[in-house]
Amino acid sequence: MTHVPPALSSGPEAPGGVIIQGQQQARVAASFPVRGLAEGLALIVVYLVAARVGLSLAADDHIAPVWLSSGVALGGLLLLGVSRWPAVFVAAGLGGLALELPLGAVLGICVGSTLEAVAGALLLRRVACSRELNRVRDVAWLGVGAALGALLAAAVGPLSLMWGGVLPRAQWGAGAWLWWMADLLGILLVTPPLLLLRRPRRVRAAWEMGVLPAVTVAVCVGVFAFPQPGSGIAHSLAFLLFPLSAWAALRFGPRGAALSSLFIAMAAIAGTARGLGPFFTAGALPQGLVVLQLFIGVTALTGLLLAAARAERRQAAEVLELLATTVRAVQEGVLICEVREPGVLHTVFVNEALCALVGRRRAELVGTPPGALLASGDSGERLRLAETLREERSLRAEVALTRPDGTRVWSEMQLSPVRADGEAVTHFVATHRDVTATKELQARLVAAERVAAVGTLAAGVGHEINNPLAYLALNLEAAQRSLAAEGAEAPARVRDALGSVRGAQEGAERIRLIVRDLQVFSREGAPERGLVDLNALVPPAVRVVLHALRSRARLVEQFGPVPRVLGSEARLGQVLLNLLVNALQAIPEGDPGRHEVRVRTGTAPSGYARVEVEDTGGGIPPDVLPRIFDPFFTTKASGEGTGLGLAICQQIIRTHGGELHVHSVPGQGATFTLLLPPAPVQSAEPSTSPALRGNARGLEAAWSVPPSLSPSLSPSLSPSLSPSLSSSASPGPRGRVLIVDDEPRLAQSMRLLLDPYHDVVTVTRGEEALARVAGGEPFDVVLCDLQMPGMDGIAVYRRLVEEAPALVSRLVFISGGVSSPEARAFMETVANPVLEKPVRPDVLLATVAATLESVAREQEREQEARDAVGAARHG
């Protein structure tokens, strides 16, 4: 029986890394006639050479167990493109003519061989088979394509031979089987080496490259070079070729498997064709060929599958290593835990970022449950995490992680389940991003919003308190003056009443100081700023607290070079006093030799001016330390503090562009550090207000004790701190005073205070005041409230500038606090004095007297000018 070579499946348009896949450059012969013709001729030549080799290895009646030309046809179409199918058709025809077959049989063989190659190539292109054959699916699809293509050739070829009288009808079935097996094996043996020709070589161990071929050749010679048909020993030796084929596949990949299978197949076919080896069976050639074909097919497929599996595993390992390297290098912490039992997890991987985040080594984390990292107090998060693990779902949450030293770090955790088999959850992957700084910033923003809200409230409360407090203080002053007029011979009940009034005055003064601090806290007002020497601020503040400090601790002052700062001397003095009072109250009485309060000044490394107030008291507990600057937060007993002292200090320092820090160790005291930026070298001390304003405001005590000072300290400090309300301020020359205030009781109280010394007129509306001025009533001083319904003090000022400019310099503003930016800007620019409510009686009297003196001097200058003009005329 004569076997005619089947043709192979055609493939992709372009030789590349992937066979039959997506966009490939078409190599159409019409576009490149010369190149296309050359490639076609080359394919024909190789096809015919392979056919000649196959026929030379054929057994009796030209039956070839493996048709190598089928592999050449499919490989050629895969490498050169399906458009080269005419070359397969021509090559198959030339091969048939060379065998002197009938023309009809030759035509059928040509059609069958071409269909085989084209169908196989199109199928592999459809499934995107890789040219590298480095996946099991690629080898499997190559086998499927080879089987289907060979089936077409086996269906058409034997029929054409039977119709041509070459193949007896009784042998058509056996001939079709042998034809199909020969073409299938030819594709499995020849196509892979052709596809892998262009693959770059990898350097392997030299000894393996020499030992493996030598051992394979030796075993092939021992099995197929001797006449031992049906020998059990020979069959046993043939099994030695399987591990050699596996060695080639595992160590040298698909190329090694393809070449090894091709060599073993050629050796087996050559030996069998010459009556040698275990597969030759005399008188039963078809049966012997089937065994040989099965041996060759199993060897070829096994080698290719092993190589593909090894390549896939290597690629998977490379991907895993790449992923592991990437995960280890990412900035976010990554933790992978394995689900060993339902609800029981064990950590199997952590990256360096997570180790750095929690401050632990990888060996400490691997093998532990991931919940061990959560802070012990977060029971809610633990329950939430347990529920998520039980339900096998994702979770995104902010959790607190603990470090070995007990500190916490906040992490934004993304927990995701991993379903390795597509169904059951085998692992959980958690990514951690450090959001500690973000949480701190959020806390600061919340605190800032709370401070802003409290500031707004403080501004409103201060304004509402100031008016009734002002006339309360003025009425108390009037009552005190009336009672004091009785003299030392007054009855006992009068003296008791006088004592009660003075006590009420001290209470009113304390309320005034609290309201003033509230206004400072709400950023009301814009105190004058100039160049301030912090070394000069320390002694006055120390003198205020020195008397009370002596019973508690010794005072140590350490002065160093300090750059001058640009700021408010009064406000910075208030901060120093508050810090000293805070240090004083932290030390118990009775053991002054054991404790000390130390005040240090100097220059910080950053160039900032630095003042430190250090005490040896009990220190600040860690749970209290973060809140000491919160407004209204206090650890003192009820009535001993408002919780505003440190909050106001921080507010004042921040408005000066500085920082206020605290360091405390429980049982070892606390240190408050004040840092202020130095004033620019080129700045000169500004003159921000006229002398009159400075005199008016300077009458207020710059070193008043803040409301946070405890009552136990007040008796010893009250003589030097509270104003001398009993001493009468010098009334000065008598004048006519206009009081403009929308609060009738306050206006009446000021009138009662001023009436003994001046002629006073009161009005409650700005329009009424302007009407009196326009009516020609003379006034030496105008006391005008800054904030009033309808026409406020600013509008009154602007109308006076237009209608009565002589009164502008005699205008004194009384303010309960400014709340609008316009009012604040006006206060910063106007030259007139401003008295803050509640106005102390002595300050009010002194301001009126100072204004009258200024008016008198102005009148004297005008009179002198008129006299000079008159003298010049008479002269």
Task: Give the domain CATH number at 621.
Answer: 3.30.565.10
Using alpha carbons, select from 71, 45, 263, 302 the residue that is nearest to residue 186.
71
Of 15 and 97, which is predicted with more confidence? Answer: 97
Residue-wise pLDDT for 473-492, tens only, equals: 777 777 777 777 666 566 76
Distances (CA, A) of 53 to 60, 68, 268, 354: 15, 8, 14, 65
Does residue 791 contact residue 767 with C-beta atoms inside 8 Å? Answer: yes
Predicted confidence (pLDDT) at residue 24 exceeds the cutoff of 60: no
Task: Give the domain CATH number at 384.
Answer: 3.30.450.20
What are the backbone dihedrals phi and psi of residue 532, each rounded to the nearest 5 degrees, phi first? -120, 135
Written as six digits, the tokens of 564 are 């001058």
Written as six digits, the tokens of 530 are 């100039």
Predicted confidence (pLDDT) at residue 164 exceeds the cutoff of 70: yes
Nearest 10 degrees: Cα torsion 569, 575, 578, 583 = -120
Specify the pLDDT at position 765: 92
Domain membership of residue 325 (yes or no) is no
Domain membership of residue 729 (yes or no) is no
What are the backbone dihedrals phi and psi of residue 10, each rounded to the nearest 5 degrees, phi first? -90, 160
Residue-wise pLDDT for 271-293, tens only, equals: 877 778 777 765 545 556 777 88
Using alpha carbons, select from 659, 517, 522, 508 the residue that is nearest to residue 581.
517
Of 636 and 693, which is predicted with more confidence? Answer: 636
CA 83 from centroid of its chain's CA atoms: 56
Q: Based on the domain organization, do 382 and 451 belong to the same domain?
A: no
Does residue 94 contact residue 142 with C-beta atoms inside 8 Å? Answer: no
Determine whether 382 is exposed, middle or buried from the number of CB atoms within 10 Å of its CB (0-12, 13-18, 19+).
middle
* Average pLDDT across the chain, whole number: 77
239-254: average pLDDT:
84
> Which residues contact residue 846 at a Cβ distance below 8 angstroms, ignoring those fewer than 6 apart?
696, 699, 729, 730
Identify the bridge partners of residue 417 per DSSP, sorted by sequence position. Answer: 428
DSSP secondary structure string for all residues of 340-368: EETTEEEEEEE-HHHHHHHT--HHHHTTS
Report the number of distinct structural domains present in the chain.
6
Which residues form the domain of 699? 526-721
Q: Based on the domain organization, do 48 and 168 belong to the same domain?
A: yes
Side chain identity, residue 828: E
Which of 271-285, 387-401, 823-837 has the least mean pLDDT?
271-285
Task: Give the domain CATH number at 795.
Answer: 3.40.50.2300
Does residue 745 contact residue 475 with C-beta atoms inside 8 Å? Answer: no
> Which residues contact residue 875 at a Cβ distance below 8 angstroms, ignoring those fewer than 6 apart?
none
Written as six digits, the tokens of 63 are 């039956």
Q: Based on the domain organization, do 150 and 21 belong to the same domain?
A: yes
Q: Based on the domain organization, do 584 and 543 belong to the same domain?
A: yes
d(CA 105, CA 111): 10
Question: Beta 530-532 vs 554-558: how paired, if at all?
Answer: unpaired
Domain membership of residue 637 (yes or no) is yes
Residue-wise pLDDT for 539-596, tens only, equals: 877 877 777 787 788 888 999 999 999 888 878 887 888 888 888 888 888 778 788 8
Q: Which of 403, 434, 465 is the last residue of a domain?
A: 434
Q: Is the dihedral of CA 88, 94, 96, 98 positive or negative?
A: negative
What are the counts of helices (DSSP H) followed by strands (DSSP E) for the chain?
Answer: 25, 17
Which of 234-238, 296-300, 777-781 has the least mean pLDDT?
234-238
Predicted confidence (pLDDT) at residue 435 exceeds the cutoff of 60: yes
Q: Based on the domain organization, do 187 and 206 belong to the same domain?
A: no
3-class DSSP assignment, residue 590: coil
d(CA 93, CA 873): 145
Predicted confidence (pLDDT) at residue 615 exceeds the cutoff of 80: yes
Using alpha carbons, select from 5, 104, 112 the residue that is nearest to residue 48.
5
Q: Based on the domain organization, do 631 and 767 belong to the same domain?
A: no
Q: Which of 688, 721, 754 is the last residue of a domain?
A: 721
Using alpha carbons, select from 80, 197, 188 the residue that is nearest to residue 140.
188
Q: Based on the domain organization, do 127 and 212 belong to the same domain?
A: no
Q: Based on the domain organization, do 194 and 204 belong to the same domain?
A: no
Does residue 80 contact residue 36 with C-beta atoms inside 8 Å? Answer: no
DSSP assignment letter at 18: B
Mark out the alpha helices in 789-840 (DSSP H runs): 793-803, 821-829
Q: Based on the domain organization, do 583 and 714 belong to the same domain?
A: yes
Residue-wise pLDDT for 124-133, tens only, equals: 999 988 888 8
Written as six digits, the tokens of 754 are 């001023």
Percent of the chain's residues with pLDDT above 70: 75
d(CA 723, CA 701): 7
Domain membership of residue 730 (yes or no) is no
What are the backbone dihedrals phi and psi of residue 517, each rounded to the nearest 5 degrees, phi first? -65, -35
Q: Is the pTM of this model over 0.85?
A: no
Q: Based on the domain organization, do 770 and 701 belong to the same domain?
A: no
Task: Give the domain CATH number at 453.
Answer: 1.10.287
Domain membership of residue 275 (yes or no) is yes
Of 600 and 708, which is predicted with more confidence? Answer: 600
Q: Based on the domain organization, do 645 and 569 belong to the same domain?
A: yes
Written as six digits, the tokens of 184 are 């299938």
The upper half-sphere exposure of residue 759, i.e. CA atoms within 13 Å in the direction of its Cβ, equals 7
d(CA 94, CA 44): 9
What are the backbone dihedrals phi and psi of residue 437, each rounded to the nearest 5 degrees, phi first? -65, -40
Q: Based on the domain organization, do 39 and 145 belong to the same domain?
A: yes
Q: Angle, nearest 10°, between helix axes 766-774 and 793-803? A: 20
